Chain A
Amino acid sequence: MQANPAVVAAVPLPPSLEDSSVVATENWAARLLDPSVDARGSTLAARLRHAGLCLALSASYGGAFGAAGEGRAIVGGGAGVALAWIAVAVLGVPALGIVLSLADAPIAWSDLADATARATARGSLVLAGLAPTLALYAVSVEDPRSAAMLGAAGLALAWLLALVSLAESIVRRAVGARAVAVAACAGFAAFSTILVARIWSAQLFGGAS
């Protein structure tokens, strides 16, 4: 028996096979990536809780990095990865906000804080997702270079995704000042990439760049 084409056309595709934007998933990862979904997301306590969760997720990757060593290496690795996010938020983001304000870009400080929170969440979630794979390498190989190579690749991916997320948010909002926003984001990207590379290099790879 052949199916009636008209009936087949009328049957909707399963949500999984269509654009995922129609899939309403109760998903903590999605909430982490967009804290504004939560009505309480803008309170200071909620912001601090969100930042703490992101730092803990990032620290899990650093912990996996040091999994081949002693307890101190695990703690040191975790702190090292988290430290880079803190350094960028404290040293880089305020400078970016000042440059954008000087250019009178229509971006409020709260928008910048939201964009930073989303970008940090993005990078942290990627790091947490990759942490078990890195831990597998760290504990099952004798030569630490393999785990270091993989660890560096994961950090680079997470950093890149976070940076793209932040730049996208800012440039999208900077109506009428796009060129300034792009230039400011480029400068911020250069500064913060060097900063995190320096921190991660010193904390995780035992070197100083």
Chain B
Amino acid sequence: MSAAASATSATAIDRILRKPRALASDCVDERLEPSVIATAIATIVGGAALFGGVLGALRGGRQIAYAAMKMPLAMLVTLIVAIPAFHALSAVFGRPRTLRVAVSLALTAAARTSLVLVAATPSLWLFVDLGAETASVKLAATLAYALAGLAGLVVLLAGIGRGPGGARTALTFGVVFLLAGAQSAYALRPYLIGRGGRAVTFLAHDREGGLLNELERAASEVFVREGARSEPRR
């Protein structure tokens, strides 16, 4: 990469981190430079791969490469699946955005998310290196992902803007994005395998039926248990 290109990327990253609202307005006005889009894509892939690699480091070996490949893939699949929903919902709720705007907003938001993941990666690696339990690493990774998601959300909310329909667009798109993100991540699991745990495979073969099914099963277990507990009282 030339010095000029590096400087352009560094400037773009700085803008993504420091000026989310200005960046969102550039996206909406279709004034975003192609260099920012290119940097955003590179950041999504690189940042998520780094984070995934550290998660894979808990098990080590091939799992590092697998998790580093799957984490950006999950993020990109989520974007591909969720962008049409953003386009449709924003139009229906009176906040029309072109597909080009939807794509640039989603990419810059995801790039900001990835940069926060990059910031969380060293701490997570140290945590793994200190011999943390799998469950603790899982919680730490979830926390990092949640914080990163909030950082990306700022760009999207600024892009949706204030005014009638803004809150409804944000809320419904948030639900769709969470469903899409959770399922694409679930379909590409495992990322995190405990030390001496199951054999390393690219994808889990024992598909239990999807995220919603898992939630339904967990909820029914809780409520059935509650029901069984309250029955003798009657």
Contact = CB atoms under 8 A, between A and B. Distances in A.
Interface of A: 14-21, 23, 25-27, 29-30, 32-33, 122, 125-126, 128-133, 135-137, 140-143, 145-147, 149-150, 157, 161
Nearest to A158: B92
A30 B102 CA distance: 14
B14 to A, nearest CB: 19
B91 A27 contact: yes
Given A125-B91, A128-B84, A140-B183, A17 B162 contact: yes
B210 A140 contact: yes
A133 B183 CA distance: 9
Given A27-B97, A136-B81, A137-B212, A20 B163 contact: yes
A14 B31 CA distance: 12
A122 B91 CA distance: 9
Contacts, number: 141
The B contact surface, by secondary structure, is: helix
Given A14-B29, A126-B89, A136-B77, A20 B176 contact: no
B87 interface: yes
| 4 nearest A-B residue pairs (beta carbon) | A129-B88, A141-B210, A143-B209, A14-B25
A147 B91 CA distance: 25
B211 to A, nearest CB: 7
B138 interface: no
Contacts of B80: 132
Given A20-B94, A125-B91, A133 B213 contact: no
